[in-house]
Chain A
Amino acid sequence: MKKIISSISAVSALAALFVMPLEAGAKEMTDEEVTFGRKAGNCLACHMIPGGNLPGTIGPPLLAMKARFPNKADLRAQIWDATVKNPHTIMPPFGKHGILTEGQIDQVVNYIYSK
């Protein structure tokens, strides 16, 4: 039993070694890369965003975000889980389903808040 536990912790220590550089790597993505990247936010799949190519038309254009979301936390909440505001929404729940990390969501919020 003890043996198993120690080998498990050895494995998780190893895993941690591998995870840390990965996370560090993820943090190196720019705010724009997290927002536009097909393997990251891929917000362009559904939204026009100034500066982005081949935008989809499923959601509204993401423009004038400061005017539409005076409170930045509301914008974050929309991205974290859009189903709270609209249970039938098509927009994926980026935070709730772990599609993006908390840090990446902050990056996306910063990026589109500047639009």
Chain B
Amino acid sequence: MKKNITIIALAALLGSSVAIAAQQSAQVQADIDAFQNHFKAKFPEMDLDDFSKGPYSMNEDKLMQFENIMEMPPFEDSLDKGEQLWNTAFKNGKTYSSCFNGPVEKIRTQFPRWNAEAGKVENLEAMINKCRTDNGEKKIGWKKGKMAFISAYLTTAATGEEINVIVPEGDEKALAAYNKGKKFFYSKRGQLNLSCANCHIDSVGKKIRGDILSPALGQITHFPVWRGKWMRKKGNGFGTIQRRYGGCNKQVRAKPFKVHKDEYTNLEFFHTVMSNGMEISGTEYRQ
């Protein structure tokens, strides 16, 4: 990981013409190191990518159950639908791929990204809907259904690709968006007065009633996820990362924010940057 950064920095110094994203903000890199070192120190027996298994990374029995389910995951059909949707032409004859750079396995890790021109963070789901409206199609729902199928297809196609979200050095606006996401993550909210960090940093591996709390590190490597709980609710079990944010806000009796507004999108920016260097693990099952 460190190596990658030095290579990028070196390339930047040499004024290399290779298309390399801007250099990571030094402040953000220091945050990433501190964040990841906290988990490494607390769980020295775990490798960086082990953290992506969420609650299952904290309990061997649960990890085995999880691995059994993943041998025949309940969401294969939905991934196929996602692939179909991805390849189906709009009325104008173009497909989604015309809106994105690179082959299908290289798309997931480009997001969320800072759009300097627009002065805001763009995430994958927002770009999928933008692609639709740019091509004269209607937007689709944000949190589940078709949107989640397409997004899950791209996540699964990107299995093994490395997360490398950049908050460009010297871009004050980008840093401000990142800092808003960071503040959101550490702020206590709701009637129960709990922050994301209280549960997913301070209490990792502990039980809250019957649930084991997952580490914040690696929480985004496998979204959208398929959850038994969402399956039982109505729908087909899939949800995007921002759907999950809403659920975690509700648990503390806070009013969830609207998805795809600044609050959750900046949170997603911060939350994803913290897992830089980890591999996308593909869409996964959750309880």
Contacts and interface: CB of A to CB of B under 8 A. Distances in A.
Interface in A21-65: 38, 42, 44-46, 54-58
Contact of B191 (A38, A45, A99): A99
A93 B210 CA distance: 22
B55 to A, nearest CB: 13
Nearest to B193: A92
B198 A90 contact: yes
A interface majority secondary structure: loop
Interface residues of B, number: 14
Interface in A49-105: 54-58, 83, 90, 92-93, 97-99
Contacts of B263: none
Contact of B202 (A54, A90, A92, A99): A90
Contact of B209 (A44, A83, A98): A44
B192 interface: yes
Pairs A-B, 7 closest by C-beta atoms: A92-B192, A57-B207, A54-B210, A56-B208, A56-B207, A57-B206, A90-B198
A33 B46 CA distance: 40
A55 B208 CA distance: 7
B interface majority secondary structure: loop
A93 B192 CA distance: 7
Interface in B179-233: 191-194, 198-199, 202-203, 206-210
5 contacts: A42-B209, A56-B208, A56-B209, A58-B203, A90-B194
Nearest to A97: B191
Contact of A55 (B192, B199, B202, B209): B209
A4 to B, nearest CB: 29
A10 to B, nearest CB: 30
Size class of A's contact patch? Answer: 10 to 19
Contacts of B206: 56-58
Interface of A: 38, 42, 44-46, 54-58, 83, 90, 92-93, 97-99
A57 B191 CA distance: 21
A90 B203 CA distance: 9
B208 A45 contact: yes
Contacts of B194: 90, 92
A99 B192 contact: yes
Nearest to B197: A90
A45 B209 contact: yes
Contacts of A57: 206-207
B205 to A, nearest CB: 9
B208 A58 contact: yes
B193 A97 contact: yes
Contacts of B202: 90
Interface centre among B191, B193, B210 (most CB of A within 10 A): B193
Given A44-B209, A90-B199, A97-B193, 7 more contacts: A45-B209, A54-B209, A55-B209, A56-B208, A58-B207, A92-B192, A99-B191
Interface in B245-281: 253
A91 B10 CA distance: 47
A45 B206 CA distance: 11
A41 to B, nearest CB: 11
A42 B252 CA distance: 12
A93 B206 CA distance: 20
Nearest to A96: B193
A44 B211 CA distance: 12
A97 B253 CA distance: 11
A88 to B, nearest CB: 9
